[in-house]
A and B are shown apart, each in its own frame.
Chain A
Amino acid sequence: RKEVEQDPGPFNVPEGATVAFNCTYSNSASQSFFWYRQDCRKEPKLLMSVYSSGNEDGRFTAQLNRASQYISLLIRDSKLSDSATYLCVVKPPDTGRRALTFGSGTRLQVQP
């Protein structure tokens, strides 16, 4: 089983739609969680950290469910500029030698 699993998509949605992505992780002791965004031929960029209580940043809402070991990202009122690949990222337990683990990404295409 992969450490971080995501539906690869693509998710094709019209402008203005609400879209949600889920991600599951295998290690229940994982510590920190993030969503990164990667545009075509660009570097991954931090979109938002995911906190236990859930957090919101404008049109974006992230949720963490530790009991079920999944993370979600909700995008409301989708814009054309939201088209990108969204990477779910998890920090494993702190053994002193483990860096972040990246999911393979979910591709979103917002259509006019």
Chain B
Amino acid sequence: DARVTQTPRHKVTEMGQEVTMRCQPILGHNTVFWYRQTMMQGLELLAYFRNRAPLDDSGMPKDRFSAEMPDATLATLKIQPSEPRDSAVYFCASGLEQGHHEQYFGPGTRLTVT
């Protein structure tokens, strides 16, 4: 049963610290997405990769956030420096850029910045 995996599952850090979240997409999927979910804002798209190339990161605060795919099996989302308003659940999802375009989500990283 192929799944998207994310690490860490939980992260508590102090304001100003760097946070790195990792995602392993489902093998064979060529699209990867990063989302942020809060009670107030719902699910927001932060970044979108196709074949490891960034296609859309318009939803991501560029001054502190960065997203990369060093290889096809790893996507990273970094926040530096972190702020309390970054506290949220960060989901990674992967899919195929063909057919019906379904996305499959990882379990998320629950980030708390104090």
Which residues of A are in contact with B by a Cβ distance under 8 Å?
A: 31-32, 34, 42-46, 49, 87, 91, 96-100, 102, 104-105
Contacts and interface: CB of A to CB of B under 8 A. Distances in A.
B18 interface: no
- How many of chain B's residues touch chain A, expressed as a range? 10 to 19
B55 A102 contact: no
A100 B106 contact: no
24 contacts: A31-B101, A32-B101, A42-B107, A42-B108, A43-B91, A43-B106, A43-B108, A44-B43, A44-B105, A46-B102, A46-B103, A49-B102, A91-B101, A97-B55, A97-B56, A98-B56, A99-B31, A99-B45, A99-B103, A100-B33, A100-B101, A102-B42, A102-B43, A104-B42
A99 B105 contact: no
A105 B43 CA distance: 9
Contacts of A102: 42-43
A87 B44 CA distance: 13
A98 B33 CA distance: 11
B33 A87 contact: no
A105 B42 contact: yes
A44 B56 CA distance: 21
A2 to B, nearest CB: 10
Interface in B46-84: 48, 55-56
Contacts of B100: 32, 34, 49
Given A32-B100, A43-B108, A99 B42 contact: no
Given A98-B56, A104-B42, A105-B42, A43 B102 contact: no
A42 B110 CA distance: 10
A6 to B, nearest CB: 10
